[in-house]
A and B are shown apart, each in its own frame.
Chain A
Amino acid sequence: MPRQLPSSAHPFRLPTGGRIDRSRTLTFRFDGVAYTGHPGDTLASALLACGVRQVATSIKLGRARGVFGVGSEEPNALVRIEAPYAEAMVTATTVELCEGLVAFGLPGRGRLPDGPDPARYDAVYAHCDVLVVGAGPAGLAAALAAARTGARVVLADENGELGGSLLGRGAADDWGARARDELAGFPQTRVLRRTTVFGYYDDNYLLALERRTAHLGAAAPAHVSRERVWRIRAGRVVLATGAHERPIAFADNDRPGVMLASAARAYVHRFGVAPGRRAVVFTACDSGYPAALDLAAAGTEVAAIVDARPQAGLWAQRARDAGLPVRAGHAVTGTSGDPCLTSVAVRELRDGEPTGPVAVVDADTLLVSGGWNPTVHLFSQAGGTLRHDPARVAFVPRECRQAVEVVGSAAGAFTLAECVADGARAGARAANREATEADLGHVLAPPPDPDDIGGGAPPVPLWLVPGPDEPRTHFVDLQRDVTVADLRRATGAGLSGVEHLKRYTTAGTAHDQGRTSGVLTTGVAAHLLGVEVSALGTTTYRPPYTPVPFAALAGRDRGALHDPVRVTALHDQHLARDAVFENVGQWKRPWYYPLAGEDMAAAVARECRAAREGVAFMDASTLGKIDVQGADAGVFLDRLYTNMISTLKPGRIRYGVMCRADGMVLDDGTVLRTADDRFLVTTTTGNAAAVLDWMEEWLQTEWPQLRVHCASVTEQWATVALVGPRSRDVLSALAPQLPSSSDDFPFMAWRDTRVAGVAARVCRISFSGELAYEINVPPWYAPHVWEAIARAGAPYGITPYGTETMHVLRAEKGYPVVGQDTDGTVTPQDLGLGWAVSAKKRDFVGKRSHARADTARPDRKQLVALLPDDRHTLLPEGGQVVADAPLPAPPVPMLGHITSSYRSTALGRTFALALVRGGRERVGQRIYVPVGSVLVPVTVAEPVLYDPEGARRDG
Chain B
Amino acid sequence: MLLIPCPWCGPRDEAEFTYGGQAHVPYPRDPAALTDEEWARYLFFRDNPKGPHAERWCHTISCRRWFNVVRDTATNEVLAAYRIGEAGPVIS
Contact = CB atoms under 8 A, between A and B. Distances in A.
B20 A697 contact: yes
Interface string A688-703: 0000010011001110
B66 A848 contact: no
B9 interface: no
B84 A852 contact: no
Interface residues of B, number: 30
B75 to A, nearest CB: 6
B32 A849 contact: no
Interface string A226-268: 0000010100000000000000000000000000000000000
Interface in B32-55: 32, 34, 36, 39-40, 42-43
B32 A843 contact: yes
Interface in B1-35: 1-3, 13, 18, 20, 26-28, 30-32, 34
B39 A848 contact: yes
A852 B3 contact: no
Contacts of A847: 31-32
B31 A696 contact: no
Contact of A203 (B2, B43, B58): B2
Contacts, number: 63
Nearest to A199: B1
Contact of B75 (A205, A233, A401, A661): A401
A849 B42 CA distance: 11
A701 to B, nearest CB: 5
A696 B66 CA distance: 8
A203 B39 contact: no
Contacts of B56: 701
A661 B41 CA distance: 12
Contact of B66 (A203, A231, A383, A701): A701
Given A702-B26, A848-B31, A848-B32, A202 B76 contact: yes
A702 B27 contact: yes
Interface in A803-841: none
B62 interface: no
A124 to B, nearest CB: 14
Interface in B44-92: 56, 58, 60, 64-66, 75-78, 84-85
Interface string A900-912: 0000000000000
Nearest to B60: A693
A951 interface: no
A153 to B, nearest CB: 19
Contact of A842 (B32, B34, B39, B78): B32
Given A401-B77, A693-B60, A853-B36, A661 B43 contact: yes
A700 B65 contact: yes
Nearest to A203: B3
A851 B40 CA distance: 12
A636 B64 CA distance: 19
Interface in A841-872: 842-843, 847-849, 851-853
A201 interface: yes
A701 B84 contact: yes
A201 B1 contact: yes
A204 B3 CA distance: 9
Nearest to B20: A697
Nearest to A853: B36
Contacts of A853: 36
Contacts of A204: 3
A852 B31 CA distance: 12
Interface in A113-167: none
Contacts of A401: 75, 77
A842 B32 CA distance: 8
Contact of B43 (A201, A231, A662, A702): A662
Contacts of B76: 202-203
A323 interface: no
In this complex, the member of B1, B13, B26, B76 whose beta carbon has the largest number of chain A beta carbons within 10 angstroms is B1
Nearest to A700: B66
A697 B43 contact: no
B3 to A, nearest CB: 4
Nearest to B33: A848
Contacts of B20: 697, 701
A202 B14 CA distance: 10
A849 B39 CA distance: 8
A704 B26 CA distance: 12
Contacts of A202: 1-3, 76
Interface in A298-336: none
Nearest to A207: B1
Interface in A51-99: none
Nearest to A204: B3
A203 B39 CA distance: 38
A205 B84 contact: no
In this complex, the member of A203, A383, A849, A851 whose beta carbon has the largest number of chain B beta carbons within 10 angstroms is A203
A205 B77 contact: no
Interface in A331-360: none
A189 B38 CA distance: 59
Contacts of A205: 1, 3, 13
A702 B42 CA distance: 14
Contact of A383 (B26, B32, B64, B75): B75
Contacts of A231: 1
Nearest to B72: A401
Contacts of B39: 848-849, 852
Nearest to B38: A848
A689 to B, nearest CB: 9
A696 B64 contact: yes
B35 to A, nearest CB: 10
Interface string A178-212: 00000000000000000000000111110000000
A227 B56 CA distance: 37
Contacts of A702: 26-27
A202 B2 CA distance: 6
Interface string A664-703: 0000000000000000000000000000010011001110
B55 to A, nearest CB: 12
Contact of B58 (A201, A697, A704): A697
Nearest to A844: B31
B46 to A, nearest CB: 13
Nearest to A698: B27
Contacts of A849: 39, 43
Given A661-B43, A697-B66, A704-B84, 15 more contacts: A202-B76, A204-B3, A205-B1, A233-B13, A662-B43, A693-B58, A700-B84, A701-B66, A701-B84, A704-B85, A847-B32, A848-B31, A848-B39, A849-B39, A852-B39
14 contacts: A383-B75, A662-B43, A693-B58, A693-B60, A697-B20, A697-B58, A701-B84, A702-B26, A843-B30, A847-B31, A848-B28, A848-B31, A851-B36, A852-B36
The 8 A-B residue pairs whose C-beta atoms are closest, nearest first, are: A848-B31, A203-B3, A700-B66, A205-B1, A202-B76, A702-B27, A701-B66, A848-B39
